[in-house]
Structure 1
Amino acid sequence: MSAILSVDDLNDFISPGVACIKPIETLPVPVPSDVPPPNALDEHEVILDGGPSSSSPSSQPAAQISLTDCLACSGCVTSAEAVLVSLQSHNEVLSVLDAAPSLHLVKTTNGYTVDGLQDKNAKLFVASISPQTRASLAATCGGGITERQAGRMIEHLFVGPNGLRTGGQYANGFTWMVDTNTAREACLVLGADEVLGGAGGGGDSKPATPVLTSSCPGWVCYAEKTHPYVLPHLSRVKSPQALMGTLLKTTLSKTLGISPDRIWHLAIMPCFDKKLEASREELTDSVWGGDGKPGRGVRDVDCVITSKEILMLAASRGINIFDMSTTPLSQPLFPDPSLQDFLFPPSERRQSRAAGTSGGNLHYVLHDVRSRHPGSQIQTVRGRNADVVEYAVTTASGETVFKAARYYGFRNIQNLVRKLKPAKASRMPGSKPFGSARRPAAAGKPAGLEYAYVEVMACPGGCTNGGGQIKVDDQVIVDRKGFTTKPGPQEQKEWLAEVDEAYFSADEPDLASADQPMDTDDATAGVIDGISASKVRDILAHWSRITGISLQKLVYTSYREVISDVGKGQATDTERVVQLAGKIGGGW
C-alpha cells in the first residue's frame, strides 16, 4: 500500500495472457471459417508497468478495466496499488472542472437557488477532506504549520480565488470544502449504538459479535474476496467518507431542487483504497433514492484523490501549494442552517491522542462503556506487536464488562480472521469438527474470540500511514529536507512520527490546557470524548426529516461475497450481447 497509481503511469488495457478475470466486453466478431476457435480457457493479463505483454499478440480487441470491474473481481490482490485507476485521479478533477461552466449559488429571500442549469453539463462542485490528509501536508510544509493551517491552505486551493479558479477554460472552483471529522463524529455515535445498543443502533440488520469496524475499504475488500464468513461481523455504519457523500448529495439535491447528478463530490483521502469504496454500488442513489438495493446509480462520492495527488493537482495548474494562505477562508452558508452549524462548527476540536490516528472508533466505544459503569477503568494489554492491542473495561470490583481489541496491518488481520473461521464438520463418523472452534481455550478463558468489538485497519500504524499519504522518499520531501541519499525505513518511521504529531496539533496550543484533558466523558449529559451523542442524533433525525429518506437508507450500508469466476464456462455470444445491452448507459 505504499505506491500511488494514476491513469498517467499505467497501461490500463488488458492483453491476452493470464491473471485477470474481467472478460473482454465487446460484441462478438465474426470469425472466418479457416480460423480455429479460441481456447475457452483463455484468460487475460493486466499490464501494470506499461511493459509488453508476456504473451503473443492476439486479434482480440483490448478492453479497458475500471474500478468497478476490479471491485467485482476476486482474482487480483486487494491492495489498491495494484488496481487500475481509469476514472479517479487529479487529471479527472481538472477534466470535469474544464468541461463546462459550474453551477452558481444565488442568494434569495428564502435561501439559495442555483443558476446555470440550462447547461446540462454544468455541475455544483463540493469537496470533503480528511484530517489525515491535512496532517500529511502540514508535515510536508514544516516550519510549525499545524493540521488546521494546512487545511486552510487546501481550502484556498480548491475554493479560494487564488487557487484552481486561476486556470482552466471556465475558471471553475469548488463551492464548499467540508471536514470529514463532522461525519466521523456521527459515525462514532452510530457505531457505539450498534455495538452497545442505543437509539436505532444497528438498523434492521445488527452485526454478529464481535463487531468489526468497516471504515477501512482495503480490509472490507479483503474480507469480501477471501473471508466471506466474517461479513456478518462487519459494522453496517458507513465510513465518514461515504456518510459525508450521502449527506451532501441528499441535502443539496433536496434543498436546492437539483438532481444528484448535477452535484459533483470530490473526497480527499489518505488512502488509495478509498477510490474503491467510492465505486461501490452500495453507495449510490439507487439505495437512498430508489428501492434500497445497490445498483449503478449516481455515486455519493464521484471522485477520490489522495494527499499526494493534491500536489499533482496544484502543479498541473502551475500553483505552488506551499504559497497558499493559512488564513481562514469565508465559504457560502450551507442551504440548511442546522447542517451549516454541523458541517462548519464555530470552534475546532483537537484530535485526542488516545483516540489514535484512524478516527477513534474503538476509543469512543470504550469510553461509552466506561461512562455506563461509573467507577470502571479501561485496562490495556499490548499484543505480540505494536499494532495489536487488547482492551478491557473492568468495574471497581474487578469484573470485566467489555473486551475489545485493535488489529492493524494485514499480517495481524490474518491472525484475526483465522480465529473467526467457523469449524468444519468432519466427514468421518464420530469425529470432532476441525478448525478454529476445536482449538483449546487458554486457562480461564472461553473458546473462540471473546472480544465484543475489534477496530481493524489495513495499514500498519493506522490511517496517517495510508498508501496515498506523502512519503519520506517522495521527491518533494527529499528536496525540502535536503536528503543526499535515499531515505530508508528509519527515516520513514521518523517521518510518520512527524505526520502523527501534525495530526494532533492545534492552531493555538493554549486553547487546550495541560490540566484540561481532551478525553471528556459526562454520562449524565450524554457527552463521550467531547462528543454529544444527543446532538448528533438530533442532526441525523433532522437530516432524515428534510430529505424524506429513512435513516436506515442514509447511514447504513451492506456487503457481499465476491466469488471468482475463473475457470467457469464462458457465456455464449447471445448471452454476451444480452449482458452488454443491459450495461449500456449504466457504467461509470
Structure 2
Amino acid sequence: MSAILSADDLNDFISPGVACIKPLETIPAQQSEDNSNPYEVTTEDKATASQPLPPAQISLTDCLACSGCVTSAEAVLVTLQSHNEVLTTLDAHPPLRAPWLAHGGTNGLINGSQNISNGITNGINGHYAGDGKLFVASVSPQTRASLAAVFSVSEAEAGNMIAQLLSGPTGLKFGGMHGGDFTWVIDTSVLREACLVAAADEVAASLSPGANAPTAPESEGAYDTTPKKPILTSACPGWICYAEKTHPYVLPHLSRLKSPQALTGTLLKSILSQHYGIPPSQVWHLAIMPCFDKKLEASRSELTSSAWLPSNTSSEDFVRDVDCVITARELLHLASARNISFSSLPRTPLPSSTRTPFPDPKIDTFLFPPARRKNQDALAGPSGGYLYHILRTYQAQHPGSSITVSRGRNADVVEYSLVQGTETIIKMARFYGFRNIQNLVRRLKPTKLSRLPGAKGGVNRRPGAKGAAGGEGVNDYAYVEVMACPGGCTNGGGQIKVTEVEEVRAAEGIQSVNGNIVAPRPGPKEQKEWLARVDEAYFSGSDEEGVDGDGDQEMKDAEAPTKNGFSQGQDVVNGISTSYIGNIMSYWSDITGVEMQKLLYTSYRKVESDVGKKKQSDVERVAGLAVSVGGGW
C-alpha cells in the first residue's frame, strides 16, 4: 500500500501507488554512426540504447507481483481481461462443438474408456480441432441482481437474458468470424454451496483440540495447513491482495478455501480436459463477476492447472483456471459491440431441447439441478452467506440454540452469537469495507515484547482491541466474514452504479421505469437507495419453475426429502445437503485422480517489493555473498 495514502482516500476503491516498479518509459534511440566497425566490441548499455524498446505494459500479473499499491477496481490497467478480449478470442478460435453429438452420443467412448484422438484430430465445423476452444461461462448471482435492478426484471430473468446473450440463437453466435458462443453457462451459486459446506468443515477442523500445531513461517499460508482462530474469509480478492502486501501476519488466519469463481474454473477445466482428451488450454472459461478485483484473483499463479495436473507436466502447459473475468458493465459492452440490445433479449430460459448435456451425467445433474434454489435471506448477507451457513451448521448441532445479532459502530460491522440459555456457544463477526478491515487487522497485529528491563510482555494496549460491538477482542471470534466493499458483493466495483443507470437505459433505448430514480447529480444517499434495490433483487430470487412430464409448469421444492437421488436427512443445513455435496466432491476427486485438498484449497504468500528501497550494486552484492560464506576479498 502506498505510503502517501491518506485517510481521506480510503473509499474502498484504491488507485495504484505512485512508485510503481513497472517502467512506462523507453530508452531514447541513438543515431548509428556510418563509420562504425561491425567487429568492434561494445558495451551492454550502448547496445541496448541503440535499439528502441516498445512501451512497457502493465498486466494484472505484474500488479500482483508488486506491493507498491493495493490494486483495485477502475484504476487497474486492464489490457487482457475485458469484453474486447472475449470477442478477440471468439474470433480467433473456432468453437469446439460437443464432439460426442457427432458420434451418436458416445464421443469415442469404448467400454468406458475415452478415445483421446477423437477430441484432438477430428475436424469440427471445417476447422482442425487443435485450433478450437471449448467456451464455458460462469455467472455470479450478484451480477444478475445488478442487471435485474437496471432493467426492472427478476434475478432469474436477468440470468436468462445473460444465457441468451452467451448461448442463445440471437446472441453472440450471430456475429464474429466463427459464430462462436458458449456451450455452457454455469451458475456459480451451485459451486458456492460446495464452498459453504467446505467452509463449515474447515472451521470445525480448525477449532478441534490440537488442530493448530506450530508451522514454519514460510508455510503459514500453505494450502495444506489449518488456519488459526479467528478464521478470515478468503473469497474477496481485494482483501486478500491487501493482506498479502501489507499485513502478512494475518496469513495464518486466512481460510484456505477457494472462492466459487476459482472452484468453478478448477472443476470445469479438470473434468472437460479429461473427458475430451484435450489440454486445459483448449477449455476457455469466462467468469462474469461483480468485482474488478476478481480479475486479479484469476491472474494468481496458485489458481492454475499446476495445482491439479500431474507433477510431471511441463510448466509451459499450465493455464489459468479462469481465463477472463468481466463485470456487469462490461457484459453490456460485450452485447453492444455485437450490436445486440441486451434489454431486448428473451427473458425465458433456453429451450431444453437445445441444451448440451455435460459429458459426465452426475456432474451435469450437480451443475444444472432441476430446481433453482433461492438465495439466502437478508440475514446471510449479500456476499455468499459464509458466516451464516457456518453459524447455522453449529446451530443444527445444538438443538434449542438461538442466534443473536449485535450491530457495531456502523452497518458493515456486525457480531453474531450462537447462545443456548446463558451459554455462548460460538461467536462470529462481519467486517465489510476497507476502513473496517483496517480496524480488524490492527486488532490482530501481534504485540511486541518490550526490551526494557522489568517491562510487562504480551499486554495489548491498543484501544481497538475490543470486539465489533464493544465486547471482547476479535480473537474470541471463531470466524470473520471479510469483504473489501462496503455493503458486500452486491456493491462491488464492477456493478452498475447509480450514476450509470440512466446512461445504460438510454443506450438501450428504454425509459426509466417509475420515473427517474436518481437526482441530476446522485450522491451517497442515492447510491445507498440504489444498492437497496440491487439487494432486493438479490434476496427476492424465487425457486424457478420446472416442467413435469406432461409439460405443465410445477414448482420444485428445494427442501424436498430427496435431491438428485440422495436422501436428505439431518445433514441438511440451510437447504444444503452436506452428504450430497461431499459425495459430489469425492466423485470429482475420483474421476480426475486428484486429491480433494488440491481441488478445493489454495495458498497465500507474503508479497514484498523493492519500491522505495535502494538497489544494491554488483559490488555490494558480491561483497555480501563473500561475507555470508565467511570469506573476503
Shared fold, TM over 0.5: yes
Q: Does residue 383 of the first structure (1) align with residue 408 of the second (2)?
A: yes
- Counterpart position of 1:313: 334
SS at match of 1:214: coil
Partner of 1:121: 131
Q: Does 1:326 align with 2:347?
A: yes
* Equivalence for 1:498: 533
Question: C-alpha separation between the residues in 1 aligned to 2:532 and 2:232?
Answer: 27
Alignment of 1:426-465 (within 5 A): 426-433=450-457, 436=460, 449-465=475-491
Question: Does residue 147 of structure 1 match 2:155?
Answer: yes
Contact 1:271 1:468 in 2 (8 A): yes
Give the distance between the partners of 1:292 and 1:185, measured in 2 at CA: 33
Task: Give runs of aligned pairs for residues 282-297 of structure 1, distance below 5 A.
Answer: 282-291=302-311, 297=318
Query: What is the correspondence of 1:160-239 to structure 2 with a 5 Å cutoff?
Result: 160-197=168-205, 204-239=224-259
1:351 alignment counterpart: 375
Match of 1:569 in 2: 615
Partners of 2:474 and 2:581 lie apart in 1 by 35
The aligned counterpart of 2:299 is 279
Task: Work out the CA distance in 2 between the residues paired with 1:181 and 1:301.
Answer: 16
Contact 1:352 1:518 in 2 (8 A): no
2:145–2:158: 8 Å Cα contact kept in structure 1? yes
Q: TM-score under structure 1 normalisation?
A: 0.83
Give how far 1:328 is off.
1.3
Q: Identify the range of structure 1 (310-319 vs 72-81) with the bigger mean alpha-carbon deviation.
A: 72-81
User: CA separation in 2, counterparts of 1:399 and 1:415?
Assistant: 28
Query: Which sections of structure 2, spanning at least 5 residues, go unmatched?
Result: 1-9, 34-42, 46-50, 109-118, 213-222, 547-556, 562-566, 622-633
Please say if 1:259 is aligned against 2:283. Answer: no
Q: TM-score, normalized by length of structure 2?
A: 0.77
Cα drift, residue 298 of structure 1 = 0.3
The answer to whether 1:553 aligns with 2:598 is: yes
User: 2:314, 2:396 → 1: CA distance?
Assistant: 37
Q: How far, CA to CA, are the matches of 2:360 and 2:545 in structure 1? A: 33
* SS across alignment from 1:468: coil
Q: 1:519 to 1:104 in 2, by over 3 A?
A: closer
Structure 1: distance between partners of 2:459 and 2:250: 15
The separation in 2 between residues aligned to 1:211 and 1:3, in whole angstroms, is 22
- 1:476 partner letter: E
CA 1:73–1:435 in structure 2 vs 1: closer, same or farther (change >3 Å)?
farther
Deviations 1:399-418 (A, max 9, x none): 11100000000010011001
Equivalent position amino acid for 2:411 in 1? A
For residues 18 and 435 of structure 1, the distance between their equivalents in structure 2, rounded to whole angstroms, comes to 37
- Checking the alignment, whether the CA contact within 8 Å between 1:245 and 1:300 is kept in structure 2 is yes
State how far apart, in whole Å, the 2-side matches of 1:125 and 1:471 are. 29
Find out whether 1:404 has 2:428 as its counterpart: yes
Q: Shift of the alpha carbon at 1:187?
A: 0.2
The aligned counterpart of 1:586 is none
- The residue type equivalent to 2:592 in the other structure is T
Asked if 1:487 corresponds to 2:522, the answer is yes
Q: Deviations over 1:410-456 (max 9, x none)?
A: 01001100110001122222223477477697799766621000000
Correspondence 1:367 to 2:413: no
Q: Answer yes or no: is the 8 Å Cα contact 2:12–2:486 preserved in 1.
A: no
Question: SS of 2:262's equivalent?
Answer: helix
Q: How far 1:238 moved relative to its partner?
A: 0.2
Name the counterpart of 1:89: 82
1:583 corresponds in structure 2 to: none
Aligned to 1:103: 96
CA contact (8 A) 1:260 1:298 kept: yes
Larger radius of gyration: 2
> One-letter code of the match for 2:76?
V
> How has the CA–CA distance of structure 1 residues 266 and 159 changed in structure 2, closer, same or farther, with 3 Å as cutoff?
same
Contact 1:282 1:295 in 2 (8 A): no
Q: Deviations over 1:171-204 (max 9, x none)?
A: 1111100000011000000000000139x99973
Q: Which amino acid aligns with 2:276?
A: L
* SS of alignment partner, residue 449 of structure 1: helix
* Contact 1:2–1:81, Cα closer than 8 Å, also in 2: no
CA deviation string 1:123-159 (max 9, x = no partner): 11000000011111111111xx110111001001001
Give 2:37's aligned residue: none
Q: Match of 1:525, as an amino acid?
A: Q
Cα gap change, 1:250 to 1:510, in 2 (>3 Å): closer
Question: Which amino acid is the alignment partner of residue 86 of structure 1?
Answer: T
Q: Given that residues 299 and 320 in structure 2 are in contact (C-alpha distance below 8 angstroms), is that contact kept between their aligned partners in structure 1?
A: yes
* 1:134 maps onto 2:144 in alignment: yes
Question: Is the counterpart of residue 268 in structure 1 residue 292 in structure 2?
Answer: no
Distance 1:86 1:532 in 2: 41
Deviation of residue 86 (structure 1)? 1.4
The percent of aligned pairs where both chains have the same amino acid is 56
Aligned residue identity for 2:137: A
Cross-structure match for 2:67: 74
Aligned amino acid, residue 91 of structure 1: N
CA distance in 2, matches of 1:532, 1:361: 15
Residue 564 of structure 1 and its aligned partner are, at CA, apart by 1.3
Bigger mean CA offset, 433-442 vs 148-157: 433-442
- Shift of the 73–150 alpha-carbon distance from structure 1 to 2, 3 Å rule, reads same
Q: CA deviation at 1:295?
A: 7.1
Q: Deviations over 1:532-561 (max 9, x none)?
A: 010000000000011111111101000001
Give the match's secondary structure for 2:325: strand
Rounded Cα–Cα distance in structure 1 between residues aligned with 2:390 and 2:71: 28
Query: Separation in 1 of the partners of 2:312 and 2:13?
Result: 34
Q: Is the 8 A contact 1:133 1:269 kept in 2?
A: yes
Q: CA deviation at 1:27?
A: 11
Matched, 1:340 2:350: no
Deviation at 1:110? 5.6
CA distance in 1, matches of 2:255, 2:107: 37
> What letter matches 1:451 in structure 2?
Y
Amino acid in structure 2 at the alignment position of 1:375: G
Give the drift of 1:327: 1.4
- Aligned partners of 1:571 and 1:285: how far apart in 2? 38
Indicate if the aligned counterparts of 1:436 and 1:448 stay in contact, CA closer than 8 A: no
Label 1:188 to 1:269 Cα distance change in 2 as closer, same or farther (>3 A): same
Tell me if structure 1 keeps the 8 A contact 2:374–2:542.
no
Looking at structure 1, the residues matched to 321 and 390 of structure 2 have their Cα atoms a distance apart, in angstroms, of 27
Aligned to 1:467: 493
Match for 2:583 among 526, 538, 563?
Answer: 538
Report the equivalent of 1:242. Answer: 262
Count residues with an aligned counterpart.
537
**Residue 116 of structure 2 aligns with which residue?**
none
Q: 1:442 to 1:493 in 2, by over 3 A?
A: closer
| 1:23 CA drift (Å) | 5.1
Counterpart residue identity of residue 583, structure 2: D
User: Among 157, 161, 185, which residue is 2:165 paired with?
Assistant: 157
